[in-house]
């Protein structure tokens, strides 16, 4: 029997071996391998992203330009779908089973365990109908999002729009996840990092039926969301709205700036569109409509991107530089010699004021020539080259030919011709003043965008300097909230502005002025018309102005494509805007009615 | 001969304390698994943990009652208890209630119990009585056959229910026969049979292309086995009789190997086939057949070294693990108490099993010793299969973890089994050899 007694050793060893195998296995799965922990977290914890509300954009008087409305994404976790009544569900969402399966397959392709969007951006009302029955459909839940809403449907081009992030966006900034929104254009894009806020995270515990069982560790790992910063802009909602109305059925743009601060009061590109069209689920289809089916290209922001020849308004720049360069003085008289360059019928200008008032082309042909050919060298070509180089530098001080410091994307710089440009076209020393003279009256290679014209008006109003035009003046609720924008000097003696401004007042006030339609009885408006030659059709109508003459409150540029002479359409539109802004009402209702009723789009159709 | 002053004298208190530790750990694990913030009381009778408190109370009464019994009662009535249990096993096949596909329960009002629990107790007693009775020598063929018969009869009746888990428990009693002198080869053979079984199932899925011929895994194995047999024959060529042994072994292995697939496909139910395939990694279906084990492993694995803390488990509490208070109760230990908790539970079991065996060998009474071995074997196989399945080392067979799992019927029968041994053991000094 002794022999058999020792068998207890074998039996106990057997027990011990099994226990050791268990402990070894447990050590592996509990201590060495952490994949089980993450699996556990994946299935028992739901990380709910808390989307902060996007910053609101206000106008200068605190009126809302853009705000948010609640929307819901219907999310699905394919693995958690169990025994749901598919047909009832489809009925609820108004889709068929084919579509249901297609979406589910797509979600499964992404992940069986993670949530993907089943239906995007249901409105609060739509979601409310579904939400009360959602408990019957395990695997589905609503995730709150917010959509933009534009209460007055204005300033689409300034505000821009948001859309889903692209693969590139996600690569560049890991904050973004598929399905998130990002600013794509306008202020939404420029101030994306400010507007978006900081997203939060809530960690919830869910049971096997995907029912929320409470906060994980009493919310210890939760991160609260911080709402985006609100933007306070210098825009005047009323003026913006009014300008958009005036520009209905016209192609072109209006930009108004408060001269002293550089705050943009309104920025209109016409035709515009209702920004509410580019919100939420309808965005993609509406975008297609706006891009493809509209030959007027409403998404194109003319105020920043359309390069036009400035036409006669450029004469103001020429006059100021010429005065400062002492090649003329305010009494310089030059005969209207139509042999040099075409002009309309008017008596010869006896001084600079008359030349500007009557917009005499030959006068400025000669002014420009005096700047270009200074006789620094006997070589005529060399001399032109030296003259142009000096001139170009001075012109660029007016914010022309350079991108302005505006806080909006896609701003074009326009162009001011320089030596390199002409050397490139004609060859070095193969060109001279006679080659480039059309620049003297703002034609030829000179190109500006409308906001540069408005900025030019602001420079004159300020008698020689400008602050970078900008839309946003303040970030709401932030310490040191006012943004700093740079002041630039044109380096032209302030005294030289007075004769020019005199002339600009005459343009509006005097019987011989080119912009009689811009006159407002109670306000002194100083302006300059332009009529930019358009080889493709009717000339473009241009007008820049500021008012009142002393302590100017508004500087404005109006550009109406294919509308002919600058005094006909651009000038009255500018005056209506000025009066609306300064007085809040319009004294000349006939003028207003004429503009509102005008349809200048037909002009193109005749052309085509 | 001394007389006992108290029934509590000579009781192995260490064993009682170990038992109590397991029962209490089990109870708080059930509490954690079924915890509900709105009903936080551990005595809430609407919840499993509240009921378990009641079952534990009743189990204590059973334990104390056993201690008041005359120790000769069990030996005297061993066959009667066994016989009664067999009748109940027969009766349950006719009058029993089917729960989860097995007709193994008697349900009377709100009370339900499994006669197979009594059968384990009865079989342990009967086996002990038979093998310890005068004049029975285990080296006689007849004795072996009778002993096997005592084990086989209830196992067969339970298989008819069918309750594979409980049937398997009776196989553990081979450990008792081994101690009584059954050849150790039985384990060797079992090991070889199990290996061949697994190899055969594995090879079924493989085939290779060799010299433009499709070679099935099965064929490769047969060739290998033949070569191995040839090699052994060659090495043992000078020993007489080696041809017969090697040849016989070869033939039996081959026949068994070839019949495994047939047995697997025809004798086992599909869900058992799936569970075995899943266990061996032949198929992987974490949402289907492998769901329980997959979830169980996640729960245990996510506990880490020190666990998530009492009531902090998310996997068990939120019902990711099925049967979390009964068959998969070990998950709660693993998740909330981590490796440390798992280590403690396994150590407690190993300690209890070792102590029973060690203790049994010191008995003067052969009946007590054999009964002790039976108790240890039954507890061991429950422990091995239950924890084994929770960590993916054993197929999913629904048998409870002794003292731990929720359920009155199983707690009482394990208490009965263990305390009968404690009672018998406490009388060791009064038994004449």
- In tens, the pLDDT along A191-215 reads 998 898 888 888 888 777 667 777 8
Handedness of CA B428, B430, B431, B433 (dihedral sign): positive
What single string gives the DSSP state of each residue in A129-161? HHHTTGGGSTTEEEEEEEEEE-TT---HHHH--
Only one residue has tokens 């330009």, namely A65
Quote the pLDDT of residue A388. 92
DSSP notation for B296-329: HHHHHHTTTTT-S-TT--STTTTT-STTTTTTTH
> Domain A237-287+301-473+485-607 carries which CATH code?
3.40.710.10
CA A8 to chain centre: 87
Q: How far is CA B286 from CA A83, B270, B281, B291, B386, in A?
A: 18, 17, 11, 5, 19
Q: Does A205 touch chain B (CB under 8 A)?
A: yes
Establish how many alpha carbons lie within 13 A of residue B85's alpha carbon, considering only the half-sphere containing its beta carbon: 27
Q: What is the pLDDT of residue B122?
A: 96
B48 touches chain A (CB under 8 A): no
Question: Which residue did the predictor score with more confidence, A395 or A45?
Answer: A395
So what's the pLDDT on residue B140?
Answer: 86
Query: Quick check: A178 contacting B, CB < 8 Å?
Result: no
Nearest to A30 among B178, B303, B320 (CB): B303
Residue listed under structure tokens 């011709």: A417
Kindly give, in sequence order, each residue whose CB lies less than 8 Å from that of residue A206, ignoring residues fewer than 6 positions away: A44, A45, A46, A212, A213, B318
Considering only CB atoms, which chain A residues are within 8 Å of B175? 11, 14
Whether B387 has its CB under 8 Å from any CB of chain A: the answer is: yes
Q: How many CB pairs under 8 A join A and B?
A: 123
| B287, B339, B360 ranked by CB distance to A30: nearest | B339
B304 in contact with A, Cβ within 8 Å = yes
Tens of pLDDT, residues B375-416:
999 999 999 999 999 998 888 888 999 999 998 889 999 999
Question: Strand A526-532 to strand A540-547: parallel, antiparallel, or no bridges (unpaired)?
Answer: antiparallel
- Determine contact: A7 vs chain B, CB below 8 A: yes
Ramachandran sector of residue A523 (left: φ over 0; alpha: ψ -120 to 50; beta: rest): beta
CB atoms within 10 A of CB A433: 21
| Residue A603 clears pLDDT 60, i.e. is over it | no
pLDDT of residue B90: 94
Q: Is the peptide bond before A271 cis (omega within 30 degrees of 0)?
A: yes
> Which is more confident, B429 or A349?
A349
Q: Residues near B253 by Cβ (< 8 Å), separated by ≥ 6?
A: B192, B196, B225
In chain B, which residue's Cα lies nearest the Cα of A80?
B287
Q: What is the mean pLDDT of residues B195-223?
A: 76
Q: How far is A40 from chain B (nearest CA, A)?
A: 6
> Each residue of B63-114: pLDDT tens digit?
999 999 888 899 999 999 999 999 999 999 998 888 877 888 888 877 778 8
- The confidence score (pLDDT) of residue B424 equals 93
Pick the range with the lowest mean pLDDT from A432-441, A547-556, B286-295: B286-295
Tokens of A344: 């309309």
A555 or A606, greater pLDDT? A555
As beta bridge partners, residue A540 has A532
Sheet of A200-206: strands edge to edge?
A45-50, A200-206, A212-215
Q: A28 to chain B nearest CA, in Å?
A: 8
Q: Which of B384, B363, B342 is nearest to B426 (CA)?
A: B363
Q: Where residue A602 falls among pLDDT bands split at 50, 70, 90?
A: low
> In this predicted model, what pLDDT tens digit does every residue of A135-158 receive, in sequence order?
788 888 888 777 889 999 999 999
How far is B406 from B417, CA to CA, in rounded Å?
17
pLDDT over 80 at B216, yes or no: no
Query: How do residues A290-314 score in pLDDT, each as one tens digit?
Result: 887 667 788 889 999 988 888 899 9
Residue B318 near residue A205, CB atoms below 8 Å: yes
Average pLDDT, chain A: 87
The answer, yes or no, to whether residue A261 has pLDDT greater than 90, is yes
Supply angle C-alpha A48, A50, A51, rounded to 5. 130
Report which of B340, B278, B344, B330 is spatially closest to residue B299, judged by C-alpha positions.
B330
Residue pair A195/A66 in contact (Cβ under 8 Å)? The answer is no
Q: Is A82 on the interface with B (CB under 8 A)?
A: no
Q: What is residue A410's three-state secondary structure?
A: coil
Structure token digits, residue A312? 């006669």
What confidence tens digit (pLDDT) does each residue in B253-280 have?
888 887 877 777 777 777 777 777 777 7
Q: What is the per-residue pLDDT across A28-53, written as a single tens digit (0 to 9) for each?
A: 989 988 888 777 777 777 777 788 88
Q: How far apart are the first and last CA of chain A?
A: 118
Distance from CA of A168 to the nearest CA of B (A): 36
Nearest to B320 among A19, A33, A43 (CB): A43
Residues A256/A554, Cβ–Cβ less than 8 Å: yes
What's the confidence (pLDDT) of residue B99? 82
Question: Cβ neighbours of residue A101 under 8 Å, at least 6 residues apart?
Answer: none
- Is residue B38 less than 8 Å (CB to CB) from chain A? no
Tokens standing for residue A97: 């089973």
Tell me whether domains A44-76+146-233 and A237-287+301-473+485-607 share a fold: no
How far, CA to CA in Å, does A72 sit from each of A67, A117, A121, A194?
16, 10, 5, 23
Nearest to A312 by CA among A448, A465, A462: A448
CA gap B181, B176 in Å, rounded: 9
A77 touches chain B (CB under 8 A): no
Of A10, A19, A205, the CB nearest to B314: A205
For the cut 60, the answer to whether the pLDDT of residue A1 exceeds it is no
Which tokens in the block code for residue A21?
């195998």
Nearest CA in chain A to B387: A22
Closest by CA position to A222, among listed A5, A49, A26: A49
B301 interaction partners in chain A (CB closer than 8 Å): 29-30, 33, 35-37, 39-40
Tokens of B175: 């450990």
**A345: pLDDT strictly greater than 90:** no
Architecture of domain A44-76+146-233: Alpha-Beta Complex (3.90)
Residues of A in contact with B334 (CB under 8 A): 26, 30
Alpha-carbon span A148 to A64, nearest angstrom: 12
Query: Is the separation of the CB atoms in B96 and B88 below 8 Å?
Result: no
Predicted-complex ipTM score: 0.89
Which residue from A18, A34, A40 is facing B314, i.e. has the nearest CB? A40
Q: Is the pLDDT of residue A372 over 80?
A: yes
> A275-290: per-residue pLDDT in tens?
888 887 777 788 888 8
Burial category of B141 from C-beta neighbours within 10 Å (exposed 0-12, middle 13-18, buried 19 and up): exposed
Selection from B431, B430, B433, B421 nearest residue B359 by Cα = B421
Interface test with chain B among A3, A8, A24, A30, by most B beta carbons within 10 Å: A30
Chain centre distance of CA B86: 20
CB contact at 8 A, B27 and B49: yes
Distance CA A231, CA A65 (A): 10
Helices and strands (H, E) in chain B, number of each type: 16, 5
Spatial separation of the C-alpha atoms in residues B89 and B226, rounded to whole Å: 46
Among the listed residues A191, A278, A235, the one whose alpha carbon sits nearest the alpha carbon of residue A58: A235
What's residue B260's pLDDT? 79
Which residues share a beta bridge with A149? A67
Residue B284 has pLDDT above 80, yes or no: no
Judged on CB neighbours under 10 Å (0-12, 13-18, 19+), B266 is: exposed
Asked if residue A487 lies in contact with residue A465, where contact means CB atoms within 8 angstroms, the answer is: yes
Q: Are A40 and B338 in contact (CB < 8 Å)?
A: no
Per-residue b or e along A111-150, where b marks 16 or more CB atoms closer than 10 Å to that residue's CB: eeeebbbbbebbeeebbeebeeeeeebbbbbbbebbbbbb
Cα dist from B213 to A193, A418, B225, B334, whole Å? 66, 83, 20, 50
| Count of Cβ atoms closer than 10 Å to residue A605 Cβ | 8
Q: Which residue of A has its CA nearest to B343?
A: A23
The Cα–Cα gap between B43 and B91 comes to 35
Domains of chain A, residue spans: 44-76+146-233, 237-287+301-473+485-607
Q: How far apart are CA A29 and CA A35, in angstroms?
A: 8
A204 contacts: CB under 8 Å, gap ≥ 6: A45, A46, A48, A212, A213, A214, A215, A216
Which structure tokens are listed for A283?
A: 């965005």
Interface of B with A in 62-101 (CB under 8 A): none
* CB of A218 less than 8 A from some CB of B: no
Q: Is the pLDDT of residue B289 over 80?
A: no
CB neighbours of A583 closer than 8 A, spacing ≥ 6?
A522, A523
For the stretch A508-542, pLDDT in tens is 998 877 888 888 888 999 999 988 877 777 888 89
Kind and range of the H or E run holding A487: strand A487-489
Q: How far is A15 from chain B (nearest CA, A)?
A: 7
**DSSP three-state, residue B75:** helix
**What span, in angstroms and rounded, lies between the C-alpha atoms of B294 and B153?**
36
Residue B411: closest CA among B20, B3, B5, B96? B20
- Residue B125 contacts residue B78 (beta carbons within 8 Å): yes
Q: Measured between CB atoms, does B287 come within 8 Å of chain A?
A: yes
Query: Where is average pLDDT lowest: A194-203, A328-337, B17-26, B197-206?
Result: B197-206
Q: Is B298 on the interface with A (CB under 8 A)?
A: yes
């Amino acid at each position: 029997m002794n022999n058999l007694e020792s068998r207890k050793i074998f039996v106990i060893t057997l027990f011990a071996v099994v226990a050791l195998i268990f402990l070894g296995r447990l050590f592996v799965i509990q201590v060495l391998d952490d994949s089980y922990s993450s699996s556990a977290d994946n299935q028992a914890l739901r990380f709910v992203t808390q989307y902060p509300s996007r910053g609101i954009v206000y106008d200068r008087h605190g009126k809302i330009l853009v705000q948010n409305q609640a929307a819901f994404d219907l999310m699905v976790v394919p693995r958690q779908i169990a025994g749901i009544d598919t047909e009832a569900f489809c009925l609820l969402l108004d889709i068929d089973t084919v579509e249901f399966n297609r979406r589910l397959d797509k979600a499964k392709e992404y992940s069986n365990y993670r949530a993907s969007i089943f239906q995007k951006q249901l409105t609060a009302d739509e979601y409310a109908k579904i939400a009360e029955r959602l408990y019957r459909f395990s695997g589905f839940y609503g995730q709150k999002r917010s959509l933009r809403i534009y209460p007055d449907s204005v300033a689409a081009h300034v505000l821009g729009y948001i859309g889903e992030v692209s693969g590139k966006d996600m690569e560049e900034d890991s904050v973004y996840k598929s399905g998130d929104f990002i600013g794509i254009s306008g202020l939404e894009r420029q101030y994306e990092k400010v507007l978006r806020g900081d997203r939060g995270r809530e960690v919830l515990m869910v049971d096997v039926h995907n029912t929320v069982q409470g906060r994980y560790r009493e919310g210890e790992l939760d991160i609260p969301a911080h709402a985006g910063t609100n933007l306070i802009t210098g825009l005047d909602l009323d003026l913006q709205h009014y300008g958009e109305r005036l520009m209905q059925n016209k192609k072109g743009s209006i930009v108004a700036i408060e001269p002293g601060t550089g705050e943009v009061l309104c920025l209109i590109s016409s035709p515009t569109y209702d920004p509410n069209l580019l919100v939420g689920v309808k965005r993609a289809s509406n975008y297609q409509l706006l891009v493809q089916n509209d030959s007027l290209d409403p998404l194109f922001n003319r105020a920043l991107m359309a390069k036009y020849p400035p036409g006669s308004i450029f004469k103001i720049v020429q006059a100021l530089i010429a005065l400062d360069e002492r090649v003329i003085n305010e009494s310089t008289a030059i005969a209207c010699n139509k042999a040099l360059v075409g002009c309309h019928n008017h008596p010869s200008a006896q001084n600079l004021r008359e030349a500007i008032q009557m917009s005499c082309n030959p006068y400025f042909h000669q002014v420009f020539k005096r700047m270009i050919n200074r006789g620094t060298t006997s070589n005529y070509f060399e001399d032109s080259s030296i003259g142009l180089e000096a001139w170009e530098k001075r012109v660029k001080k007016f914010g022309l030919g350079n991108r302005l410091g505006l806080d909006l994307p896609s701003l074009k710089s326009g162009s001011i011709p320089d030596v390199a440009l002409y050397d490139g076209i004609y060859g070095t020393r193969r060109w001279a003043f006679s080659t480039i003279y059309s620049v003297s009256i703002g034609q030829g290679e000179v190109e500006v965008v409308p906001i540069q014209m408005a900025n030019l008006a602001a420079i004159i109003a300020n008698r020689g300097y400008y602050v970078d035009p900008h839309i946003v003046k303040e970030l709401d609720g932030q310490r040191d909230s006012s943004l700093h924008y740079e002041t630039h000097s044109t380096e032209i003696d302030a005294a030289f502005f007075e004769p020019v401004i005199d002339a600009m007042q005459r343009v509006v006030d005097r019987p011989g002025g080119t912009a009689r339609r811009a006159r407002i009885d109670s306000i002194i408006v100083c302006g300059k018309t332009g009529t930019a030659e358009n080889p493709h059709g009717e000339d473009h109508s241009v007008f820049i102005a500021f008012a009142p003459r002393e302590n100017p409150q508004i500087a404005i540029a109006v550009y109406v494509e294919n509308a002919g002479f600058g005094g006909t359409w651009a000038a009255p539109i500018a005056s209506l805007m000025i009066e609306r802004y300064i007085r809040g009402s319009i004294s000349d209702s006939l003028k207003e009615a004429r503009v509102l009723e005008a349809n200048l789009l037909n002009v193109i159709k005749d052309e085509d | 001969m001394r007389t006992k002053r108290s029934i509590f004298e000579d009781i192995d208190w260490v064993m009682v304390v170990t038992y109590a530790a397991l029962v209490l750990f089990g109870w708080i694990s059930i509490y954690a698994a079924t915890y509900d913030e709105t009903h936080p009381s551990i005595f809430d009778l609407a919840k499993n943990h509240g009921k378990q408190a009641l079952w534990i109370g009743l189990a204590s009464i059973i334990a104390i009652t056993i201690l008041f019994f005359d120790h000769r009662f069990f030996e005297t009535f061993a066959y009667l208890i066994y016989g009664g249990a067999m009748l109940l096993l027969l009766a349950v096949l006719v009058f029993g209630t089917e729960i989860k596909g097995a007709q193994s329960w008697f349900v009377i009002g709100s009370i339900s119990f499994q006669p197979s629990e009594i059968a384990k107790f009865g079989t342990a007693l009967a086996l002990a009585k038979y093998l310890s009775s005068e004049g029975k020598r285990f080296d006689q063929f007849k004795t072996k056959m009778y002993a096997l018969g005592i084990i086989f009869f209830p196992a067969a009746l339970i298989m008819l229910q069918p309750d594979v888990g409980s049937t398997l428990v009776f196989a553990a009693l081979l450990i008792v026969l081994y101690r009584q002198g059954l050849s150790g080869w039985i384990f060797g053979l079992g090991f070889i049979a199990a290996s061949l079984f697994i190899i055969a199932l594995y090879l079924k899925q493989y085939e290779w292309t060799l010299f433009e011929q499709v070679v099935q895994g099965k064929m490769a194995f047969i060739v290998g086995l033949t070569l191995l047999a040839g090699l052994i024959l060659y090495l043992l060529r000078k020993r007489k009789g080696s041809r017969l042994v090697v040849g016989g072994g070869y033939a039996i292995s081959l026949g068994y190997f070839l019949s495994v697939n047939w047995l697997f496909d025809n004798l086992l139910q599909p869900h058992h086939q799936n569970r075995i395939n899943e266990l061996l990694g032949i198929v992987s279906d974490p949402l289907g057949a492998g769901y329980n084990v997959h979830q169980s492993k996640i729960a245990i694995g996510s506990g880490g070294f020190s666990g998530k803390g009492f009531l902090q488990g998310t996997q068990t509490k939120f019902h990711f693990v099925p049967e979390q208070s009964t068959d998969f109760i070990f998950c709660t230990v693993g998740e909330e108490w981590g490796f440390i908790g798992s280590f403690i539970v396994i150590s407690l079991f190993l300690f209890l099993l070792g102590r029973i065996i060690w203790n049994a060998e010191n008995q003067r009474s052969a009946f007590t010793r054999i009964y002790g071995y039976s108790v240890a074997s039954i507890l061991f196989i429950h422990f091995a299969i239950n924890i084994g399945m929770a960590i993916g080392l054993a197929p999913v067979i629904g048998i409870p973890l002794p003292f731990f799992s929720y359920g009155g019927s199983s707690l009482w029968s394990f208490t009965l089994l263990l305390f009968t041994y404690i009672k018998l053991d406490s009388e060791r000094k009064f038994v004449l050899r």
